Structure 1
Amino acid sequence: MKQVEYREEGSGPDTILLFHGGHMRATSDSGEAFFVENCYRVIIPSRPGYGKTPLTAGRSAADFADMMAEFIADLHFKTITVVGNSGGGPTALQFAQRHPELLNALIMQSAVGHDGWPGAKLHRLSHIGFNPITEKLTWAFIHAGFTFFPQTMLKFMLGSLSTKPPDEALHTIRDKQRTAMIQVFKQMRSGHGFLNDIHYRICNVESISVPTLILHSKNDGSVDLSHPQYLAEHIQGSTLFLSEAENHMFWYSDYYSEIRNEMKRFLDSLV
């Protein structure tokens, strides 16, 4: 396999391949704890342009899905469950569409599900603030903000993560959850990956035939509800669960317990 940074957690008999979201990498917290706690082996690769994975590992979601399929096949896993988080959604969908023989199921979490992401405004701002040169300065500013004014900075970031007013969205997030979110933000970088992400294209999702669970927050301000609704309408037999979680990063919410229950029921039904 081409040079791909990845992390492996857990040692169960069944395997999860998790594609992380934007501005993250293999070492980022991507909600994998649930799967490890339920006796799954979890493999999290850094997607192209993030961490130590070069863009040459796959400039398109389809290319990287194909490369990861080769990796999975070489390890002789029987079947795997693919999880797509946020900006990792297009790669997860490509994997499901192109390599159904390797797949047991698909789980989409706060995931991009159609080509309407990002909008024109975010597309322009991304080229300004998250290109490979300016992203260093952008994230240095954000990291400094979280170091010196963590609660103020978290409220600021919630402005783009939630459809709720920032004060309201922040109010219901507990201190422990806030601390975890802040830690994730302090580790984020865009590298060459985010500008690559915004040019990804979604596959023909109607051809996806594996059991699919779609999880999304009703209050997601980053990836709007048209994405899970589109997937639910076009993937035959899929299950859609909409949560009351405060924002896009529903792993850090009291409502995550309901989401965990939905995933447990779904995974148990595959046995």
Structure 2
Amino acid sequence: MTSVRFNADTSACGVRVKFIHMDMATIEVAFSGPVEGAPVLALHGGMGGWDQSLILAQALFGEGSVRRLLAVSRPGYLGTALEAGRGPAAEADLYAALLDHLGIERAAVIAVSAGGPAALAFAHRYPERVAALVLVSCCTGTLVPPRAVSLMLPLMRLAARSALVNRMLKRRLGDPVEAARRSIRDPDVLARTLADPDASRLMALLNRSVSDRMAERLPGTIADTRCFAAQAEIAVKSLKAPTLVIHGTADRVVPFEHGSRVAEQAPSGELMAVEGGEHVALFTALDHVRSRVAVFLAANEKPASG
């Protein structure tokens, strides 16, 4: 996997961003890795886009992955219109159409945070298309954003309209130490994460991406927030895909119970509980997460055609 570089020519670092025009809708997808590699569909979280889907994949697989990565901009984010898939079920249909268009029969599906409901909907609606499912800090039921997140949305709306506010927010998010400190309360974990070159780099990329093209990330974020506040607990007892749930026990954004319930109730569910981990447990436990994902996929993922 080639490192993501924002505000640069992505083709120079092996990432190809394309608009895929299909009968039902147009979707923005970043491709990375060899065409013959095992396909992976990556779904980002709130205030995301294809760039954050790539960061998720980099975090899970590390550098040098030989997988064929499809890093999408979910509906309402960056170049994918909200109308391309309003709600998890319609979003799942969009991804099935994407795989059809690309001639891919099955793929592993990885999702983080707000990408969880669509990933689960895809696994329910198209079980034959999912080789394995990895859910990282994912929302899986009713979710009302914590106060800190709710207070950020008005600021982001303002920043999307005001160049001055946008510059101020970019400076705030651009300081990797301050950004990490807001997400990691434990000083020892914070210091260890910042000392890890890969984890600190990926966290910095993620934080900086939020203020880049902010206005194009808000429609999906607002739609997700409203959807999750009204949605019921997502049933998983009939889920057929092998499922690995990775969740921090101290997650302040998406409570740990969202993940532990899925791992307990899904027929082929596994739980990697990151003790004391917060919503960024993916980065604070990066090496352990990568090892667990590698073992899980090796044990459960069958070769996919396409």
**TM-score, with structure 1 as normaliser:** 0.85
Deviations 1:96-142 (A, max 9, x none): 01111211111101111212x124746853653444x5555565433
Letter in 2 for 1:257: D
1:84 to 83, 102, 111: 111
CA contact (8 A) 2:44 2:56 kept: no
Secondary structure of the 2:56 match is coil
Q: Any unmatched runs of 5+ in structure 1?
A: none
Counterpart of 1:23?
A: 47
CA–CA distance in structure 1, aligned partners of residues 242 and 77 of structure 2: 29
Classify 1:150/1:32 alpha carbon distance in 2 versus 1 (closer, same or farther; 3 Å). Answer: closer
Q: Which amino acid aligns with 1:86?
A: S
CA deviation after TM superposition for structure 1 residue 244, in Å = 3.9
SS of the equivalent of 1:30 reads helix
1: CA distance, partners of 2:99 / 2:275: 35
Corresponding residue for residue 84 of structure 2: 57
Q: What is the root-mean-square deviation of aligned Cα atoms in Å?
A: 2.5
- Matching residue of 2:26: 3
State the secondary structure of the residue aligned to 1:4.
strand
After superposition, the C-alpha distances for 1:133-156 in whole angstroms (9 at most, x for unaligned) are 555556543312244x5423432x
Give the drift of 1:230: 1.6
Structure-to-structure mapping, 1:1-271, within 5 angstroms:
1=22, 2-11=25-34, 12-28=36-52, 29-33=54-58, 34=61, 37-115=64-142, 117-119=143-145, 121=147, 124-125=150-151, 128-131=154-157, 135=160, 140-147=167-174, 149-155=175-181, 157-158=182-183, 162=184, 164-165=185-186, 167-175=187-195, 176=197, 177-188=199-210, 189=214, 190-200=217-227, 201=231, 203-244=234-275, 246-253=277-284, 255-270=285-300, 271=302
Q: Structure 2: any 5+ residue segments left out of the alignment?
A: 1-21
Contact 2:27 2:84 in 1 (8 A): yes
Q: CA separation in 1, counterparts of 2:275 and 2:68?
A: 29
How far has the Cα of 1:39 moved from its partner? 2.3
Shift of 1:180: 3.4
| CA distance in structure 2 between the partners assigned to 1:179 and 1:10 by the alignment | 21
* CA distance 1:225–1:73, shift in 2 (3 Å): same
Residues 111 and 134 of structure 2 are in contact (CA less than 8 Å); yes or no, is this contact kept in structure 1? yes
Q: How many residues are treated as equivalent by the alignment?
A: 261
Tell me: CA distance 1:146–1:107, structure 2 relative to 1, closer, same or farther (3 Å). closer
Q: How far is the alpha carbon of 1:237 from its aligned partner?
A: 2.3
| 1:5-53 deviations in Å (ceiling 9; x for gaps) | 1101111431110111111110234331317744211101101111111
Percent identity of paired positions between Structure 1 and Structure 2: 24
Contact 1:245 1:256 in 2 (8 A): no
